[in-house]
Structure 1
Amino acid sequence: MARVVKLLSYPVKGCAGMPSHSAVLTPAGLAHDRSFMVTSEDGVFRSQRRDPRLALVRPEIGTDGRRLTLHAPGWGSVGIDVDDSGRPREVELFGAPFRGIDQGDEAAAWLSDVLGTPSRLVRVPADHDRVTDGRTPGTSGYADSCAVHVLSRSTLDLLNERLGERGAPPLPMDRFRPNIVVDGWHTPHTEDRAHRITIADTELGYAKLAIRCVVTMVDQQVGAKAGPEPLRTLAAYRRAAEGGVAFGTKYAVLRPGKLSVGDDVHVTSWGASEL
C-alpha cells in the first residue's frame, strides 16, 4: 500500500521547506504553503533561479499564521507579526500581476542582507483569487502554478540510478521541493498516471506534469548552484512534449481536510501519462 512519508510546506516562496507530521490541506495547498513571497523593491518575485541563497532561509510559522520567523546560518533570525490587513501593493509573478501585503522594513532589511540585494516580503491578501491551470483547475498562493506537488520515492530512486550510471552522486529529495512524498508506488513515475488521489479525508485532482527548471541544480544545503545535474540526466529520458523535462506531478485540491505522515494513498482514477 502506498503511503505518505513526508509532508512539506514552503511558507515563503523559494525558501526552505517546513516539514510536519500532520497538515491541513486547504484549497490553495498545505496550510501556509507559498503564502509569502520575497520580491525586489519594485515588486518582481525572487526565486532560487537567480537568488539561490533563498534556500538558506528557513521559515517557521505558527498554526494560526500570526507569527513568522525566518532563520539563516550566519544571519541569525528575524521574527514578525504577520500583517494580513494592510493595503496591498502590486507584485509580479512570472510576468503576471498579483497583489501582496508588505510585511515591513525589519523583514525587508534582514532578507536584503541575506540575499545581498534590496528585497521586500509580501503576503497573499485575503481576496487573492488566483485560478491555476492544468487538467484540473484550482487555486494556490504564490506557487509557480498548482497547489500541490507530489513525488514518489521510486521516481527519485530511478533518477539516482541513472545518475550513478553517469558517475554522478545521488541527489536528495529536497532538490525537487515536493509537498507530499509517497512511498509504495514501486513503478517509477506512477504519479504521472494517478489522476485522482485520496489521502485520509482529502482528495487531489491531476493538473499537469511538473516541468523542472534550474532550481533543481541548487544545493539546498549551501544555497548555491551545483549543476548540470539533474537536468542533464533527466533530458535523456524525461523530455516533455511541450518542452523541458518532467519530474513529479502537480495537483489541484478537490477536497480539503487533514492528512498525516503514514496515511494511505489511494488512487481512485488512473489515466495515461502525458509524457
Structure 2
Amino acid sequence: MVISEIFIYPIKSCQGIRVDQAQVTPKGFIWDREFMLVDSNGVFLTQRQHPQLATIKVLFLGNLISLSVKKTSLKPFIFKPSFTGLEIEVDIWGTRTIAIDQGQQVAEWFKTALDLEENCRLVRQSPKYIRLVDQKYAVKENDQVSWADGYPFLLTATASLAELNRKILDFEPQNFEEVPMNRFRPNIVVKTTEPFIENNWKFIQFDEIIFDIVKPCSRCIITTTDQLTGKKNHLQEPLRTLSKFQFAKESMIFGVNMIPRNQGFVSVSSSYKIG
C-alpha cells in the first residue's frame, strides 16, 4: 500500500495545496500552517467562526505567496513572507505565544476577502518560540507543532472514507452527497483496504521516515464545510454519521494524529510499513 495524496496548508483554515513530495520537520511539513489569521485581540481565526476562509486559494510563486478568492471586485494579492515584522502576542487554543505580523496590506486584503467587520492580522510562526503538543501524547521532550490544532501531522485512509460515505448513503439515501477527503484536511492520505484499521496502528514508516501515531483525531464542525465554496452541509454530515459509529471520549473521530521520529522527505506513491 502507498501514499495516495500529500497536502500542505500554508495558512491555517485556508485552502490546501496538493504536492507530490514534502519535507518532514519536527513541527510538520515545511510551510504547513506556517501562517494564521488572528483578530484584533490576537485570538486565532478558523473556519469554525468564518467558513469563508475555505474560499481563499493559496499558491507559491517562488519566494512569494499569492492569495485569491472568487470575488469579481477583489484582485489577487501577492506578498513576501517575512521573519522581520512586528512581533505580537497571539492566542491559539488558550495558549499565548509570540508571532510575526505580516503587515498592513495583507491584513486589509483578508478583511475585505472575508467580509470581516473588525480588523484582523496575518501572522507567521516565530522560530524563536516553540509551541508544544499536548504533553499527554508527546513522545519525546519538546515535541512541537506549527499553527495546526494540536499535532504536527494528520493521516487519513481511503478505505475509511469509502466506508463513511457508504454509511452516509445508508442513513440518508434521499439526500446523499459524497464527502470528499479534503473535508478532513489531512497531510498524508494512504491507500488502505480495511476501514479504520489506522486507529489500531502504533507507527507508520515511509522509506526512512517514521511517524508515531499518538491518538485518533477528534473532528469538529469544519468537516461539514465545503472546502472550495465555504458552504455548510445542511445535514451536518459527516459528523452526523460519524457520531453513530466512530465516537470516542465524547468526540467523533476520523484520521490519526502523528509525531515524526526523524526528518526527511515523503512522496506520493511511497510504500509504507505499519506496526
Decide: shared fold, TM above 0.5.
Answer: yes
Identity %: 29
Quote the residue 2:64 is aligned against: 67
Quote the residue 2:114 is aligned against: 115
- Cα deviation, residue 85, structure 1: 2.5
TM-score (norm 2): 0.92
* Matched position secondary structure for 1:53: helix
Quote the residue 2:195 is aligned against: 188
Distance 1:32 1:62, change over 3 A: farther
Amino acid at match of 2:102: Q
Deviations 1:91-118 (A, max 9, x none): 0111211221000011101100111112
- Cα deviation, residue 192, structure 1: 1.0
Where do 5+ consecutive residues of structure 1 fail to align? 270-275
Deviations 1:138-187 (A, max 9, x none): 2111000000000000010000000110222211111110000000x211
* Matched position secondary structure for 1:245: strand
* Matched position secondary structure for 2:198: helix
Matches within 5 A, 1:84-233: 84-117=83-116, 118-133=119-134, 134=137, 136=139, 138-166=143-171, 167=173, 168-183=176-191, 185-227=192-234, 228-233=236-241
Quote the residue 2:254 is aligned against: 247
Q: d(CA) in 1 for partners of 2:111 and 2:103? A: 12
Q: d(CA) in 1 for partners of 2:107 and 2:85? A: 16
Higher alpha-carbon deviation: 8-17 or 185-194? 185-194
TM-score (norm 1): 0.92
Q: d(CA) in 2 for partners of 1:84 and 1:200? A: 33
RMSD: 1.3
Q: d(CA) in 2 for partners of 1:51 and 1:87? A: 25
Equivalent residues of 1:56, 1:73 under 8 A apart: yes
* Matched position secondary structure for 2:155: strand
Q: d(CA) in 1 for partners of 2:110 and 2:123? A: 12
Q: d(CA) in 1 for partners of 2:83 and 2:58? A: 17
Deviations 1:192-248 (A, max 9, x none): 1221111122111112110000000101121122241111110000111x2111110
Q: d(CA) in 1 for partners of 2:206 and 2:22? A: 12
Q: d(CA) in 2 for partners of 1:181 and 1:128? A: 30
Q: d(CA) in 1 for partners of 2:209 and 2:85? A: 32
Equivalent residues of 2:15, 2:228 under 8 A apart: no
- Cα deviation, residue 125, structure 1: 0.5
Q: d(CA) in 2 for partners of 1:235 and 1:18? A: 29
Quote the residue 1:5 is aligned against: 4
Higher alpha-carbon deviation: 186-195 or 9-18? 186-195
Equivalent residues of 1:146, 1:207 under 8 A apart: no
Equivalent residues of 1:204, 1:251 under 8 A apart: yes
Equivalent residues of 2:9, 2:32 under 8 A apart: yes
Quote the residue 1:42 is aligned against: 41
Amino acid at match of 1:136: V
- Cα deviation, residue 30, structure 1: 1.1
Where do 5+ consecutive residues of structure 2 fail to align? none
Amino acid at match of 1:210: C
- Cα deviation, residue 135, structure 1: 5.2
- Cα deviation, residue 128, structure 1: 2.4
* Matched position secondary structure for 2:76: strand
